[in-house]
Structure 1
């Protein structure tokens, strides 16, 4: 697979610890979807981030609640060990095979390659190389959505982790349908509070935001090409 461009960004890890996301402050998706599938977390928890990421999540939620009192950021997923990343890549590959009516023992090499390209558009390669860690394995990335004051999940128009064009942040941007315009507004609200708190959003996933990792630096460089920052969070 071609290497994603953000993996060229150098890393100088600042040494911040992983810290637990406080359940009293944020909503969590429970049961955790990957744990429920049997993903091998061991003694790790998916609801951990780096200290600086937690500080910015708190800031994002404060911004949200100024606009919509009682609304909260809901954490779908955060820290992900390499073994979990591998598990989910393999699981997603299997799901796509099933959806296409194929089996791994009966697909041609070009079919396998095409499906892997679909998988890796949304999932990072589970690399153990310290120079190319998956974003979630650094403690810098979070998958998030919103819940309203009644504790109901806000409809974003597609579920987290859906492998389809509906996952693209601007998928509904040109729609004139009132319902789809509402999905668009919800995605914009989430992006607004997260970006104002210092995060950057994945170009293909409305739910994925990060701070301090390679992708974060690369996305900022797309806005300001003279930015020569390095990533402050590597694999952990």
Structure 2
């Protein structure tokens, strides 16, 4: 694996508050089913991917309520939430292998430069599966959630890129000034999701339109708060 740099938010110290993981009430939300990483074989163990810290779940319900006021019968769709470090490692490796295959290459025949370039693309989106308690992957804290929207007809809203897309289309403001015919619609959908999540107290990953967090290092860094209250969970 390539070398990597720590993220800016890793400078934020963690004062773990000890709040428990709780199940997300899936009847309140739409759900990606079967779970996209579980069906690939990701090792979640005894906890399902539909868990978050208790306060994060409460905030997510608030965001759903705000969405209902703006778009009756629309729902937030949960793509992924709690992710053990083992799952993070599984998905990083899977993403690398997929990127190699999509480029028409073979892992066994990659040059060091090709390998470095592909790992750099992977880590643009994926957090490093670090076991260092000071640099936990956001999802491994139970404080981050990947989401999209479902409209009143039950259809997933088009956001202009799939979740986990390794291209620049993942950047939240990619379509802001685009001349692509449907760009403004995509941007409006992303902005609606951002607005309801921000109102509930979340922050959005600057690189991913779908990733929101509350109480972890990224959230504290984006809010200019000196400490985070959620660190890596050990289960």
- 2-side partners of 1:62 and 1:97: how far apart? 41
- 1-side partners of 2:28 and 2:11: how far apart? 35
- 1-side partners of 2:129 and 2:26: how far apart? 28
Task: Verify: 1:231 aligned to 2:221, yes or no.
Answer: no
Task: Verify: 1:110 aligned to 2:113, yes or no.
Answer: yes
- 2-side partners of 1:89 and 1:137: how far apart? 14
Aligned to 2:17, the other structure's residue is in SS state coil
Q: Number of residue pairs matched?
A: 230
Task: Verify: 1:194 aligned to 2:197, yes or no.
Answer: yes
Report the CA distance between 1:150 and its aligned residue: 1.6
- 2-side partners of 1:180 and 1:30: how far apart? 28
Runs of 4+ residues over 4 Å off in structure 1 = none
- 2-side partners of 1:178 and 1:113: how far apart? 35
User: Residue by residue, what CA displacement relative to the aligned partner does 1:19-76 show, whole Å, maximum 9, x if unpaired?
Assistant: 0001111111001010000011111110000011011101111111101111111100
User: Residue by residue, what CA displacement relative to the aligned partner does 1:133-160 show, whole Å, maximum 9, x if unpaired?
Assistant: 1000000000000111121111111110
- 2-side partners of 1:43 and 1:138: how far apart? 16
Task: Verify: 1:35 aligned to 2:32, yes or no.
Answer: no
Corresponding position of 1:142 = 145
Aligned to 2:182, the other structure's residue is in SS state helix
Corresponding position of 2:171 = 168
Aligned to 2:37, the other structure's residue is in SS state helix
Task: Verify: 1:75 aligned to 2:75, yes or no.
Answer: no
- 2-side partners of 1:84 and 1:233: how far apart? 19
Report the CA distance between 1:13 and its aligned residue: 0.8
- 2-side partners of 1:178 and 1:112: how far apart? 35
Unpaired runs of 5+ residues, structure 1, are 222-226
Note the 1:54-133 alignment, pairs <5 A: 54-133=57-136
TM-score by length of 1: 0.95
Report the CA distance between 1:178 and its aligned residue: 4.1
